[in-house]
Structures are given as structure tokens and as C-alpha cells.
Amino acid sequence: MPRAKKKKSLAKGLLLPGFYISTIEEFSAKSGAYEDGGGVYSSKVGLPEYDGMEHYVSVKPFKVSAPERLILGASYVGLVSDVHKNFAQVTIFSKDQLGRPVPFSALLHVSRGGVRRARAATELVKPGDAVVVKLITNWVPLQVSMEGPELGVVRASCSKCGAPLTWDHDGVLKCHACGHREIRKVSVDYGRKNLHSALIN
């Protein structure tokens, strides 16, 4: 292991990968930095940010990648891609460095569906539904929740004829084409969310 170079002053200004920042006695590495051989080094192109209270140093990058943009507790628009008994798979969209939506698959467990006594994930969502979910883990596997009135299904199609479903009453959607009724965990924003702008913005 290379020994950290002894330097009197802390790094300032632009940092590139491999640039020395400080010794580990001075600061611990947080995001954008790493520790190696007793020293703290930058792992990204960015500017250093020192936390003198907690003795952490991080490097604020100029480019933030799509996985790093996924924020814990933030709401995301997603599409249900698969539904099993206990969980559903939801594709949520982050943004890449150029602002393009980048899909990530996340799990929605039946216990986090926002409906008490739901016995199966099929009572909450169905494949193809557009949902608004909250990210509850930002490590893999990503997990999402639909607990909250604003979270849940915002757009759905009829399982029988494929026509758009409209809100009927609490937790029930109705197809005006064939009269079929279906249950979902419906968001208060059902039918009102502009999905295209939600995906892009």
C-alpha cells in the first residue's frame, strides 16, 4: 500500500481522480472520495467540501450519474412491469447527465402497498399501470412504497378490453367501455398526473 504523502495544506480547487486531499486523521472520505494507504483521495472530477464538525470530506462532482440521482424519500413515476403474489416489480426513472430518463427496476412489497389487509400485490397494482412511488432504499435491490394518499396508481387500463380506467369510488376503477370494475391502490392524483412531463422533468 502506498503511504500517504505528507502535505501541510488541504486540497483546494479542482480535483481529479487520484488527487490527494488529506490524511485519514484529518478527514474521513465521504461521497466522491476514498481512503487508501492512510490518505484520502478524490475519485471524481469535482470540488472538495470539508465538514469540519464531523471531519468528513466529500467531492462534489460536476457530473452526477443516473443511479446517484436516485434520492431516498423522493417520489418517482414508475411503470409496473411484473406482479407476483408478495411483490410487484416497478420500473422507476432517474435522469442521466444529459437529462434523459434512465430506467431502474425496484421492488414494491405488498406490506408497503398502502392498503391494510392486502393479501396479494395484484390487489394493489397490475402490469402496465403507471404509479407514483416513494423510494425507501437507495441501495440494491431498490425498494419503493405506496404508503400515502398521493402515492399509488395514477393511470391504468382495463384488464379485459384495454380501455383507460376512470376513478369510480375509493380504491375502485371502472372501465367505461365494458363496465368492468377493478381494484387498485389509487392515488389522489389519479388521471391528473402528466406522466410525460413527470418522466422528463
Partner 1 sequence: MEIKMAKLSQEELLTDEGIRTDGRKIDEARPFEVEVGVLTQADGSALVRQGKNLILAGVMGPYEAERHSQFLDRSSLRVRYHMQPYSTNERKSPTYSRREIELSRAIREALEPAIILTELPRTQIDVFVEVLQADGGTRCASVNAASVALADAGIPMRDLVTAVAIGKVRDTLVVDINDLEDENGQADFPIAMMPNKGKITLLQMNGLLTQEEIKRSVEMAKRVINSLYTVQVNALKKKYAPLAASNEG
Shortest distance, position 58 Cβ to partner 1, whole Å: 12
Is residue 72 within the footprint of partner 1 (CB under 8 A)?
no
Task: Enumerate long-range contacts of 91-98, CB under 8 Å, 24 or more apart.
Answer: 92/133, 92/135, 92/142, 92/144, 93/199, 94/66, 94/67, 94/69, 94/70, 95/66, 95/69, 96/65, 96/66, 97/63, 97/64, 97/65, 97/66
Site string for partner 1, 164-183 (x = CB under 8 A): --------------------
Among 64, 118, 120, 136, binds partner 1 (CB under 8 A): 64
Among 7, 14, 150, 192, binds partner 1 (CB under 8 A): 14
End-to-end CA distance of the chain: 45
Is residue 200 within the footprint of partner 1 (CB under 8 A)?
no
Q: Which is nearer to partner 1, 73 or 99 (CB)?
A: 99
Is residue 47 within the footprint of partner 1 (CB under 8 A)?
yes
Query: Hey, what's the torsion of the CAs at 14, 18, 23, 28, to 10 degrees?
Result: 80
Listed ranges 11-19, 74-82, 109-117, 125-133: which one lies at the site for partner 1 (CB under 8 A): 11-19
Question: Per-residue DSSP letters for 5-36?
Answer: PP-SSPP-S-B-TT-EEEETTT-EE-TTEEEE
Among 11, 27, 44, 107, binds partner 1 (CB under 8 A): 44
Pairing of strands 142-145, 101-109: parallel
Among 73, 98, 99, 170, binds partner 1 (CB under 8 A): 98
CA within 13 Å, CB half, 24: 9
Alpha-helical regions (H) of 63-152: 66-69
Among 7, 54, 55, 63, binds partner 1 (CB under 8 A): 63
Q: Which is nearer to partner 1, 33 or 175 (CB)?
A: 33
Is residue 49 within the footprint of partner 1 (CB under 8 A)?
no
Under the rule (CB under 8 A), what is the footprint of partner 1?
A: 2, 13-14, 16-20, 32, 34, 36, 41, 43-45, 47, 61-67, 96-98, 102-105, 139-140
